[in-house]
A = this chain, B = another copy of it.
Amino acid sequence: MAREKCVLAYSGGMDSTISTVWIQENYNMDVVTLTVDLGAGPEIVGVKERAAQAGAIQSLVWDVRDEFVNEYVFPGLKAGAMYEGVYALSTALGRPLMAKKLVEAAREVGATAVAHGCTGKGNDQVRFDAGIMTLAAHGDPLKIVAPAREWGMTRDEEKLYAQKAGLELREVGSDQRVYSIDRNLWGQAIEGEDLEDTWEAPPEDAFSWTRQISDTPDEPIEVSIGFEKGVPVSIDGTLKSGVELIAILNDLAGEHGVGRIDHVENRLVGIKSREVYETPAAVVLNAALKALETSTMSREQQRVKDNLSAIYSDMVYDGRWFTELRTNIAAFMDSAHEFSTGDVRVRLHKGSCIVVGRRSPFSLYDFDLATYSTTDAFDHEAATGFIDIYSLAARTQSRKQTHSERR
Q: Which of A6-14, A238-246, A326-334 contacts B (4 or more CB under 8 A)?
A: A326-334
Contact of A371 among B196, B330, B345, B402 (CB under 8 A): B196
Contact of A394 among B295, B298, B366, B388 (CB under 8 A): B298
Q: Which of A24-32, A50-58, A107-115, A121-129 contacts B (4 or more CB under 8 A)?
A: A121-129
A2 to B119, CA, bound (A): 42
Q: Which residues of B contact A380 (CB under 8 A)?
A: 119-121, 149
A295 to B264, CA, bound (A): 7
Nearest-Cβ distance from residue A63 to partner chain B, whole angstroms? 21
Question: How many residues of chain A get a CB closer than 8 Å to chain B's CBs?
Answer: 133
A64 within 8 Å of B (CB atoms): no
A residues 262-288 near B (Cβ < 8 Å) are: 262-267, 269-274
Nearest-Cβ distance from residue A70 to partner chain B, whole angstroms? 15
> Is A320 in contact with B394, judged by CB distance below 8 angstroms?
yes
Q: Which residues of B contact A208 (CB under 8 A)?
A: none
Q: Which residues of B contact A382 (CB under 8 A)?
A: 120, 384-386, 388-389
Q: Which residues of B contact A125 (CB under 8 A)?
A: 383, 387
Nearest-Cβ distance from residue A334 to partner chain B, whole angstroms? 7
Q: Which residues of B contact A299 (CB under 8 A)?
A: 266, 393
B-facing mask of A31-45, CB < 8 A → 1, else 0? 000000000000000
B-facing mask of A320-352, CB < 8 A → 1, else 0? 101111011111101110110000010101111
A392 to B30, CA, bound (A): 29
Q: Which of A131-139, A163-171, A229-237, A247-255 contacts B (4 or more CB under 8 A)?
A: A131-139
A residues 377-405 near B (Cβ < 8 Å) are: 378-402
A374 to B197, CA, bound (A): 17
> Is B324 in contact with A391, judged by CB distance below 8 angstroms?
no
Contact of A310 among B122, B301, B303 (CB under 8 A): B303
> Is B347 in contact with A350, judged by CB distance below 8 angstroms?
no
> Is A328 in contact with B324, judged by CB distance below 8 angstroms?
no
A237 to B359, CA, bound (A): 46
> Is A352 in contact with B351, judged by CB distance below 8 angstroms?
yes
> Is A401 in contact with B339, judged by CB distance below 8 angstroms?
yes
> Is B357 in contact with A199, judged by CB distance below 8 angstroms?
yes
Identify 16 new A-B residue pairs, CB closer than 8 A, beyond the known A120-B380, A192-B372.
Answer: A120-B383, A126-B386, A137-B395, A138-B402, A193-B371, A267-B370, A272-B369, A307-B307, A324-B336, A324-B401, A338-B401, A364-B397, A379-B385, A381-B385, A385-B385, A385-B388
Q: Which residues of B contact A270 (CB under 8 A)?
A: 389-393, 396
A66 within 8 Å of B (CB atoms): no
A78 to B398, CA, bound (A): 22
Q: Which residues of B contact A323 (CB under 8 A)?
A: 298, 300, 394, 397
Q: Which residues of A contact B (CB under 8 A)?
A: 84, 100, 119-122, 125-126, 129-130, 133-135, 137-138, 149, 154-155, 180, 191-193, 196-201, 213-214, 218, 220, 262-267, 269-274, 291, 294-308, 310-311, 314-315, 319-320, 322-325, 327-332, 334-336, 338-339, 345, 347, 349-352, 354-359, 362-367, 369-374, 376, 378-402, 406-407
Q: Which residues of B contact A350 (CB under 8 A)?
A: 213, 349-352
Q: Given the known inter-chain contacts A201-B347, A270-B392, please indicate yes or no for A306 contacting B295, CB distance below 8 A.
A: no
Q: Which residues of B contact A356 (CB under 8 A)?
A: 200-201, 262
Chain B: CB-nearest residue to A119: B380
> Is A383 in contact with B121, judged by CB distance below 8 angstroms?
yes
